[in-house]
Amino acid sequence: MASTLRPLMMILFATWLLILGGSVIVFKLIVPIPDLYEGRIGLIVTAILKAGASVALVLVWVWIMVNLRNLYVKRILKPVSSD
């Protein structure tokens, strides 16, 4: 039981770290991006930039979580030999 519980706890811990890190990145780096140009065009360009950065952050987060899940599954489910 302990052999399956430890990796799950590590995945849970990594998830919380990713959530915390993502929140810090969003509120410290993405939200404070100033308008790049004056007027309405500047607002649109800045909004697209912020949305793109946020989508990239989510994609990286999902990629890391999928890799953690795959690592867990490979370690828990031993390969069955095909004899």
pTM listed for this prediction: 0.78
Q: pLDDT tens digits, residue range 24-81?
A: 999 999 999 999 888 899 999 999 999 999 999 999 999 999 999 998 888 877 665 5
Burial class (CB in 10 A: 0-12, 13-18, 19+), 72: middle
Distance CA 33, CA 27 (A): 10
